[in-house]
Structure 1
Amino acid sequence: MLEILTNPWVICFIVVSVIVGNIAALKYTANMNVGKPSKLKGESDLDKLNRLDKLNSARKAAEQDAHKDA
């Protein structure tokens, strides 16, 4: 049994399997933007949320002012 595990082909197969598995895991877990300039990316989600929050705050303030005047 030990002779099978120390066979160079078996060892190479295990090493290649581990490397391929790690690359496959990185493919699904890593969020890499390699080669994409930030100008083409556009507005980030956080920037969009901040902009929408400011718009909603301004709209609520305008509604409160309208209710005070009425």
Structure 2
Amino acid sequence: MLEWLTNPWVIIIIVVSVVVGNIAALKQTANMDLTGRGKTERDLDKLNRLDKLNQEKAEKEESKDNKDA
């Protein structure tokens, strides 16, 4: 049994399996990061839009206060 486990072909198959498994795991985590990054950009766009609306509203109130004074 020990001779079979120390056979170079068996060792090569085990090493290749480990490497392929690690590459597959890295590809999965890379895809998860990309989807998260896309969502963050959408959230950032939403925040920018809301900030622009708030600035416009503040400018309108400021100009209204200046006309009243």
TM-score by length of 1: 0.53
Q: Which has the higher helix share?
A: 2
- Uncovered stretches (5+) of structure 1, i.e. residues with no partner: 34-40, 66-70
Count of matched residue positions in the alignment of Structure 1 and Structure 2: 52
User: After TM superposition, what 4+ stretches of structure 1 lie above 4 angstroms from structure 2?
Assistant: none
TM-score by length of 2: 0.54
Instruction: Give the superposition deviation at 1:46.
Output: 4.4
Instruction: Give the superposition deviation at 1:3.
Output: 0.8
Please state if 1:45 is matched with 2:42: yes
- Uncovered stretches (5+) of structure 2, i.e. residues with no partner: 62-69
* Max Rg structure: 2
Q: Secondary structure at the match of 2:45?
A: helix
